[in-house]
């Protein structure tokens, strides 16, 4: 592979235009994630970023199914993308059905397999010590990436980093608009955590765990559950460990 970056950008350029509602940076990253999934013969791809609140949250995905898998990791607080971000190293899991994967991600591994994902390759997006996010790649069958495909995957990750930094010559240098929406979701989640802490007299760790548990139990996005808590449409109750909630009418 003479010039992996040239190949990657050619593959991205071949993708159809993204949804017109997306900003410049989001549109390019959507085409990047779609091109990566196709070129690497994968099920899908997603890009999560570090928001202004200091947490990792989904920015863009190649399709709705990949978006669901990425948000599942946010809701559960575990998964390859979170491990890759925290360790600053690629997390390449070729078989989510293995005992090792099940022990490492007891919530995420079976949930991802139930959604037809059998392998997950998470590549950190970073420059030196600065962490920007993660490129998550999903496969519908167990198996590792070949050395050639791994090089290509890492090149897609490098181009995602350049895009997030506004360094690509084909971008207009505007601030990545996806960050604003992701930050708004995280701000809502932090407000909800604070309300649950006060209501139940618990620490931030337990408040977060209760929000995530409820979101997973009712199959909703964590940000949506947080929005209901902040709007006082939902209240989590200490004495209801199974449902842990009460809808306020």
What is the C-alpha separation between 44 and 68, in angstroms, rounded? 11
Return phi, psi of residue 130, to 5°. Answer: -85, 120
Closest CA to 162 of 125, 110, 121, 123: 125
Cα dist from 240 to 113, 118, 204, 214, whole Å: 29, 34, 18, 11
pLDDT digits (tens, 9 = 90+) for 200-225: 888 766 777 788 788 878 888 777 88
Binned at pLDDT 50, 70 and 90, residue 172 comes out as very low
Give Cα 40 to chain centroid, integer Å: 19
170 and 162 Cβ atoms separated by less than 8 Å: no
53 and 190 Cβ atoms separated by less than 8 Å: yes
pLDDT digits (tens, 9 = 90+) for 61-115: 999 999 999 999 988 889 999 999 989 899 999 999 999 999 999 999 999 999 9
Beta bridge partners of 247: 234
**Who contacts 36 (Cβ-Cβ below 8 Å, separation ≥6)?**
42, 45, 62, 135, 137, 153, 156
204 and 197 Cβ atoms separated by less than 8 Å: yes
Residue boundaries of the structural domains of the chain: 4-164, 177-247
175 and 191 Cβ atoms separated by less than 8 Å: no
Check whether domain 4-164 has CATH 3.30.450.40, yes or no:
yes
Selected residue with higher pLDDT from 171 and 229? 229
What is the C-alpha separation between 83 and 124, in angstroms, rounded? 9
pLDDT, mean over the chain: 82
Closest CA to 69 of 84, 85, 54, 58: 58
Binned at pLDDT 50, 70 and 90, residue 191 comes out as confident
Q: Give the torsion sign (CA, 67, 70, 74, 76).
A: positive
């Amino acid at each position: 592979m003479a010039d992996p970056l040239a190949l990657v950008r050619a593959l991205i350029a071949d993708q159809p235009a993204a949804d017109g509602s997306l900003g410049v940076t989001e549109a390019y990253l959507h085409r990047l994630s779609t091109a990566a999934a196709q070129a690497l013969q994968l099920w899908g791809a997603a890009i999560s970023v570090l928001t202004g609140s200091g947490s990792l949250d989904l920015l863009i995905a190649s399709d709705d199914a990949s978006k669901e898998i990425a948000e599942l990791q946010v809701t559960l607080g575990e998964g390859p993308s979170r491990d890759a971000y925290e360790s600053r190293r690629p997390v390449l899991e070729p078989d989510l059905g293995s005992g090792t994967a099940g022990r490492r991600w007891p919530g995420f591994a079976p949930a991802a397999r139930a959604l037809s994902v059998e392998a997950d390759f998470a590549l950190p997006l970073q420059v030196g010590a600065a962490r920007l996010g993660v490129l998550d790649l999903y496969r519908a069958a167990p198996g590792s990436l070949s050395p050639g495909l791994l090089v290509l995957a890492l090149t897609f990750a490098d181009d995602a980093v350049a895009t997030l930094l506004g360094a690509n010559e084909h971008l207009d240098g505007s601030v990545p608009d996806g960050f604003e929406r992701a930050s708004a979701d995280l701000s809502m989640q932090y407000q909800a955590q604070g309300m649950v802490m006060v209501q139940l007299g618990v620490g931030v760790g337990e408040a977060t765990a209760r929000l995530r548990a409820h979101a997973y139990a009712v199959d909703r996005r964590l940000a949506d559950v947080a929005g209901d808590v902040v709007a006082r449409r939902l209240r989590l109750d200490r004495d209801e460990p199974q449902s842990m909630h009460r809808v306020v009418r």
